[in-house]
Amino acid sequence: MIKATLLYGHPADANAFEKYYAEAHLPLAAKMTGVAKLQLTKFISAADGGKAAYYRMAELFFTDPAQMQTALGSPEGQATIADLSNFATGGVTTIIGSNES
């Protein structure tokens, strides 16, 4: 399995972020084919109880690197990527990993 992890920085307006994320971005992302699993996290705090380094995390799982490239390179994938600038005012860090034991 290969995983694309998106770490969202704290937005300028959390309510606007949440509304857009739920009503526009996630339905757009759902149009991508080839995503084996999607896991969403909203951070509560850092381990010490302070402010978390990131606001949200989205993890997209794919069967292999080729499937990830196909999904993200598709028109739906490109539209989803382009949409990030419409709501992710705190920035987005994207990292790619492999689930290996």
- Does any domain span residue 76? yes
Q: Confidence class of residue 100 from pLDDT cuts 50, 70 and 90?
A: confident
- Does any domain span residue 100? yes
Domain carrying residue 10? 1-22+54-101
- Does any domain span residue 96? yes
Write the pLDDT tens digit of every residue in 19-40.
Answer: 999 999 999 999 999 999 999 9
- Does any domain span residue 79? yes
Looking at the structure of the chain, the number of domains it has is 1
pTM: 0.92
Query: Radius of gyration of the chain from Cα atoms?
Result: 14
- Does any domain span residue 69? yes
Write the pLDDT tens digit of every residue in 51-90.
Answer: 999 999 999 999 999 999 999 999 999 999 999 999 999 9
